[in-house]
Amino acid sequence: MYRFYMRDDGNEYHYAELCRVFLPEEDFEIISMNRLPDPEYISSSSYVLGEDRHSDRDSTKRELYTLLEELTGIKPEWGTLTGVRPLKPALDILNVTGNIDDMKSNLKNKYLLSDTKADLLAEIAEYQRSHVNGNPSDYISVYAGIPFCPTRCEYCSFASNVAGEGEIANYLNNLIKEIEFTGNLLRHNKETKQIESIYIGGGTPTTLSSNQLKELINALADAFSVNPADIEFTVEAGRPDTITDEKLLALKELGIGRISINPQSMKDRTLKLIGRDHCSEDIRNAFALADKHGFEVVNADLIAGLPEETPNDFKSSLDEIIGLGAENITVHTLSVKRGSRLHEHDPLYYRRDIERVSEMLSYAGDKLRDCGYHPYYIYRQKHQMGAFENVGYCKENTHSIYNIRIMEDKQSIIALGAGGIGKIYFPEEDRIERVANVSNYEIYSERFDEMLERKNKYFGGHNGD
Ligand code: SF4
């Protein structure tokens, strides 16, 4: 057990986050310097950090990083940067320096980022700067969640459920009531901001039947007074075994431009191991159907680090997905969170085979760039292998504005349904307030009135201005 004695500067959470990148939770302790024992009682695995009264959080984190690197022999590429949104500090620096090269050297000095990660952030920042216009806070986006899937993946830690038709129908009923209620609130409040994007996610939204999908999309279009064809409207179809000709036809007829088909891997053995109830042929068929209906953009998610996968397995999956013509490819690093079956069976899975994942990610970056894709958004999760990242790549001008906005934290997002976490943006204070619904779909129905009250509280009287 390592003991790190540190000043009480209110940053213990951040120091602990950094320690978790290097060490399992139970292998370290952060203790207030006020509790430092007499020298003779200090063990050889105890360290004192941040003694300098003038050291700020970043310099103490650099000190801690260097010590942890010595102790473990690990040198994480993201340096001292923890948290979900690595692009945010990069953009903050860019706003001050106005220059990409200065931004990169600042990132390396301040956060000890590797060259590769600093270059990646620079590329994303440049893509966004040259392709994304408008002030995000002039618009609102909307998210609606369908928390159902045909089976539960081994690594899933979301509020996703395998449910019967009756339960799904009941949930949809409530969701549509919440959509109508919120739409009325905005109308009553004479909301003037336009809807920039709508995203139906999950779970797997295409667990709904084609009629249910129509009902849901029409409800969203009516409540928020939009024509789906005129805005960025995404339906995360997700699992290929739920995608049918009839459902895609319904989406296309309603004007939906973007869908996701999320293979995660094209290897049948892996699909079985991760608890999917479909094979790679289903994925190929889903792409063929999407092709037939001519969606503007198809996104495909892949995961690096899945059980038993070699770099070559990952490479062939990626090559095939590129060949299937996905306009957007999101390359995830496996995250093994509490609440997933994989975590239950093997809580330290994410700490092993880091080299393997690193090779996969670096192949993905090179290959996708060679094939004309640009990295355009990025986020990180807890317990990701190697503390790496998820990166969305897109063909020129096919990026998802919703994905960019959700990471920017500069726009109000109305989230509807179980598990939806919306946010209100206060531009004058450059601050976000989260508006969360409960994550369990049964509790969502039981406490439905409370969900509506929350919407009323946040969207009934003001909208962030
Ligand atoms: S498809 Fe996604 S939401 Fe559904 S079980 Fe798998 S990881 Fe969870």
Per-residue burial over 224-247, b = 16 or more CB atoms within 10 Å of its CB, e = otherwise: bebebeebbbbbbbbbbbbbbeeb
- Our answer on whether the CB atom of 152 is closer than 6 Å to any ligand 1 atom is yes
Q: Does the pLDDT value for residue 463 go beyond 90? A: no
Ligand 1 and 160: CB distance under 6 A? yes
Q: Ligand 1 in contact with 385 (CB < 6 A)? A: no
Domain boundaries, the chain: 1-75, 136-416
pLDDT for res 448: 93
Is 118 a pocket residue for ligand 1 (Cβ < 6 Å)? no
For the chain, the helix, strand and coil percentages under 3-state DSSP, each to the nearest 5: 50, 20, 30
Determine if ligand 1 sits within 6 Å of the CB of residue 238.
yes
pLDDT, tens digit, for every residue of 152-175?
999 998 878 899 999 999 999 999
CA-closest residue to ligand 1 atom 7 = 156
Candidate of 155, 204, 273 to mutate for ligand 1, largest count of ligand atoms within 8 Å of Cβ: 204
Q: Which of 73-87, 189-203, 367-381 has the lowest mean pLDDT?
A: 189-203
Query: Of all atoms in ligand 1, which is nearest to the CA of residue 160?
Result: 3
Is the minimum distance from the CB of 419 to ligand 1 under 6 angstroms?
no
Pairing status of strand 28-32 against strand 2-6? parallel
Ligand 1 center–CA 337 separation, angstroms = 13
Query: How confident is the model at residue 42, as a pLDDT?
Result: 76
- In this predicted model, what pLDDT tens digit does every residue of 290-318 receive, in sequence order? 999 999 999 999 999 999 999 999 999 99
Ligand 1 atom 5, closest CA: 152
Give the DSSP per-residue string, 102-135.
HHHHHHHHHH---HHHHHHHHHHHHHHHHH--S-
Backbone torsion region of residue 112, taken as left when φ is above 0, otherwise alpha when ψ lies between -120 and 50, otherwise beta: left
Task: State if residue 153 touches ligand 1 by the CB under 6 angstroms criterion.
Answer: yes
| pLDDT (0 to 100) of residue 266 | 98
Locate tokens 């430092």: which residue? 36
- Does the Cβ of 300 fall within 6 Å of ligand 1? no
pLDDT tens by residue, 53-68: 778 899 999 999 999 9
Distance CA 240, CA 260 (A): 9
> 304: closest CA among 257, 344, 336?
336
For residue 108 and ligand 1, the question of a CB distance below 6 A is answered with: no
Q: Is the CB of 61 under 6 A from ligand 1?
A: no
Measured from the CB, is residue 258 less than 6 Å from ligand 1?
Answer: no
Does residue 464 surpass a pLDDT of 50?
A: no
Q: What is the CA radius of gyration of the chain?
A: 23
**Rounded percentage of the chain residues whose pLDDT exceeds 90:** 84
- Nearest atom, ligand 1, residue 203 CA: 3
List the CATH code of the domain at 136-416.
Answer: 3.80.30.20
Which pLDDT band holds residue 461 (cuts at 50, 70, 90)?
Answer: low
Using a 6 Å cutoff on CB, does residue 158 contact ligand 1?
yes
Verify whether ligand 1 is closer than 6 Å to residue 156 (CB atom).
yes
271 C-alpha to ligand 1 centroid (Å): 12
Q: What is the pLDDT of residues 364-394, one digit of tens each?
A: 999 999 999 999 999 999 999 999 999 999 9
Please state the atom number of ligand 1 nearest to the C-alpha of residue 147. Answer: 3
Taking the C-alpha atoms of residue 280 and residue 268, their distance in angstroms, rounded to an integer, is 6
Please give the Cα distance from 199 to 400 (Å, whole number). 10
Q: Whose CA is nearest to atom 3 of ligand 1?
A: 203
338-372 confidence digits (pLDDT tens):
889 999 999 999 999 999 999 999 999 999 999 99
Q: Are strands 46-49 and 390-395 parallel, antiparallel or unpaired?
A: unpaired
Residue 36 confidence class, pLDDT cut points 50, 70, 90:
confident
For residue 339, the CA-to-ligand 1 centroid distance in Å is 12
Q: Give the chain's mean pLDDT.
A: 93
Q: Is the pLDDT of residue 192 over 60?
A: yes
